[in-house]
């Protein structure tokens, strides 16, 4: 149980374009979803936290107009990287927790590798 999927698993886009990444909880209702960014050989950095039906809470230093997060349902959250630049190239990972999962335990998606050329 507690399976999280992400799509796509990798994407290459041109500088200036936008990319949407989907995060789905497959077998539970995700009341909270988290988006992380991980650069090579570095740790996971929390970008934002989103609750279903509410605006996302962004971490300090993360541009909310550049990284648009939508959590429209209890099983789906999307991250849109707008006007992507090469420095946005990274591994983006989502995680989810639910009302009926263990308190504070997060279940991670497989990640999306974004390359901006």
Residue with Cβ nearer another protein (87 or 104):
104
Q: In angstroms, what is the minimal distance from the CB of 43 to another protein? A: 5
Do 66 and 82 form a contact (C-beta atoms < 8 A)? Answer: yes
Closest of 69, 33, 36 to residue 51, by C-alpha: 33
Task: Reply yes or no: is the peptide bond before residue 49 cis, omega within 30 of 0.
Answer: no
Residue 27 binds another protein (CB under 8 A): no
Q: Are 7 and 113 in contact (CB under 8 A)?
A: no
Q: Is the Cβ of residue 38 or residue 82 nearer to another protein in the bound state?
A: 38
Residue 18 or 57: which CB sits closer to another protein? 57
Residues of this chain that interact with another protein (CB under 8 A) are 32, 34, 42-46, 49, 51, 57, 91, 93, 97, 103-106, 108-111, 113
């Amino acid at each position: 149980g507690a399976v999280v999927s992400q799509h796509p698993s990798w994407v290459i886009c041109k500088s200036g374009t936008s990319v949407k990444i989907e995060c789905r909880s497959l077998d539970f209702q995700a009341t909270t979803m988290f988006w992380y960014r991980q650069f090579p050989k570095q740790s996971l950095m929390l970008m934002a936290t989103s609750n279903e039906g509410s605006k996302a809470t962004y971490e300090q230093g993360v541009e909310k107009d550049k990284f648009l997060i939508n959590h429209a349902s209890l099983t789906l959250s999307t991250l849109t990287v707008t006007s992507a630049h090469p420095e946005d190239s990274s591994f983006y990972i989502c995680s989810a927790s639910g009302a009926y999962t263990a308190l504070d335990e997060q279940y991670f998606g497989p990640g999306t590798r974004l390359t901006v050329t």
